[in-house]
Amino acid sequence: LSPATRGQAVAVRSVVRHGAQTAVQSAQTVDPSFYVVNFEQESGFAIVAADRRQQATVYAISDEGSLPAPASLQDDSPLNLIYARIGQMASAPAEVQTQDAVIVTNWKNVKTVGPYVKVNWGTEFPFYQSVFVTHLCQIMSYYEWPTTYRWTIIKQYVCKLYQPSADPTIWGAVAQLFKTVAGQIQNTDTMEKAFSAIGYYCNAEKAYSMSTVCNEIDQKHPVYATGTARRGCILYSYPWIMDGYLLQSRSTSVYPGIETRTLIHCNLGNDGYGNGYYLNSIFELGQQPEVPDFDLPDQYVSGMNAFEAAEIGIITNIRPNTPTVLPNIPVTTKPGIVGEINIVVP
């Protein structure tokens, strides 16, 4: 069928039945007859089954030309072979296709790395800052750097889901951390500069890949991720932390018999809501994670967007920028610069 004519209405010129029944058929018997249908003005033809229980309901269709009735053909006409073959197919009973059920077992954990960030902070009380500040502070809590902050006290405030009324001394220290960090990054226009402002080193943002993220997590470094996607005329963007991964497997009756998957742990900066392990190819942040952190109903952030892998950028190699914790990058014999990254060579 031509795409230009497909789906257009056509008028039927003639309908001829082939393979007339010679006796009354029972309800269980398949009628082997078929119809030759020609459309007006040589606009096509069709050969269709007279009984839907035949092997096919449509044997041929075209949007140009026409077909003569089988009874009008000469003995040496090649169309006799076509009609005979269709007759054989129509007479044979349709095979009932049976398919074995696919049997799978439940997912089992094979390997877990992380998650490293042990706090589940947000943007409301006692934080009152943007989600960007929240993620910076959460990463700082993992490294416990700078040491000037009272990390022993600060990290006692783990999650508002379980600590709605923590000791004022604790949430007061958390609030001070957030306020200080917000002031330090207020004049920065990129996350790389923001990390630098709080005393941290990181690489420039690059495209997301599962292998890169897992490698960073194997090196015990959380990853800062940002999803950016246009939905219609609206551009959506949201950051989160990737700080762990989970390898799972399950048995299946389909070859090769074992199915595996890798889930990425995400901290969304929403007081624990939505935190958990997500599929590594698409991050459905507005739905329950595949493996949520909290065994509570509806622990997700309604209204959040889904971001595919191609819509995500990641910042890697995040670490305190101190003489004793150098960036994990090649060091040349010329001190001072490697590529476009300024470093200090002790």
CA angle 92/97/101 to nearest 5° reads 170
Question: What is the Cα–Cα distance from 325 to 184, expressed in whole angstroms?
Answer: 21
Q: Where are the domains of the chain?
A: 12-91, 109-338
pLDDT tens, N- to C-terminus, the chain (346 residues): 444 454 566 788 888 888 755 444 555 577 788 888 888 888 888 888 888 777 778 888 888 888 887 777 777 777 777 777 777 777 765 554 445 566 778 999 999 999 999 999 999 988 999 999 999 999 999 999 999 999 999 999 998 776 666 688 998 999 999 999 999 999 999 999 999 999 999 999 999 999 999 999 999 999 999 999 988 888 999 999 999 999 999 998 776 788 899 999 999 999 999 999 999 998 999 888 999 998 766 666 767 889 999 999 999 999 998 855 443 433 333 333 333 333 333 3
Q: Does domain 109-338 have CATH number 3.90.70.50?
A: yes
Q: Which of 294, 259, 214 is nearest to 104 (CA)?
A: 259
> Which residue type, as a one-letter code, is found at position 209?
S
At 208, list the tokens. Answer: 């997301």
Place of tokens 């589940």: 120
pLDDT in tens, 263-290: 999 999 999 999 999 999 989 998 889 9
